[in-house]
Amino acid sequence: MDPAPAHVHGVDHPADKPIGWWLKHVDRLIEATLDRVLAGEGIGRRHWQALNAIAGGADSAEAVDEALAPFRGSGPALRVVLDQLRAQHWTQEVEGRITLTPTGSAARGRLIVAVREARARTTEGIDEQEYRTTLDVLARMARNLG
């Protein structure tokens, strides 16, 4: 039998909720925060991911699609996202090669600052060692389940 926990059962204590609950809860809060940050520039998460992929060297629709493979199934279709970024004059496509425009680079720069601030709020009060330990534990859990 497991030893009794240090807290009282039935009390709304964080340890009474399973890790899956916390993962989903934190994920929803991170998503909502990022959505608010990105909405200020009139885009969504998929646009942000595409901008970063293009800035990182993905210069075709196929390369952007490959870079965003882990996120397939969420958000609008890639072609829609690329068309919207081009309509905002954030990207251009010449002879099949996609690049950021100066306007897109400036918008991405603003968003990088805003996203970093949001991430800093997420980890406020958590020191580097706690953060690294949390990532390590989550990585091990993923390996256990994968």
Task: Examine residue 59 and state whether it is found in any structural domain, yes or no.
Answer: yes
Residue 12 predicted with pLDDT over 90: no
pTM for this model (two decimals): 0.76
Residue 15 predicted with pLDDT over 90: no
Task: Examine residue 80 and state whether it is found in any structural domain, yes or no.
Answer: yes
For the chain, what is the domain count? Answer: 1
Q: Give the per-residue pLDDT at 8.
A: 47
| Lowest-pLDDT range of 23-37, 62-76, 99-113, 130-144 | 62-76
Domain span holding position 64: 40-145
pLDDT tens digits along 62-86: 999 999 998 877 778 899 999 999 9
Residue 18 predicted with pLDDT over 70: yes
Average pLDDT over residues 22-28: 94
Please give the backbone phi and psi of residue 33, each rounded to the nearest 5 degrees, phi first: -65, -50
Task: Give the burial string for 88-121 (b: 16+ CB within 10 Å, else e).
Answer: bebbeeeeeebebeeebbebbeebeebbeeeeee
pLDDT tens digits along 109-120: 999 999 999 999
* pLDDT level of residue 9 (50, 70, 90 thresholds): low
Task: Examine residue 21 and state whether it is found in any structural domain, yes or no.
Answer: no
The domain that holds 77 is classified in CATH as 1.10.10.10
Give the position of tokens 């991911």.
49
Q: Show the 3-state SS of the chain.
A: CCCCCCCCCCCCCHHHCCHHHHHHHHHHHHHHHHHHHHHCCCCCHHHHHHHHHHHCCCCCHHHHHHHCHHHCCCCCCHHHHHHHHHHCCCEEEECCEEEECHHHHHHHHHHHHHHHHHHHHHCCCCCHHHHHHHHHHHHHHHHHHC
pLDDT tens digits along 37-68: 999 999 999 999 999 999 999 999 999 999 99
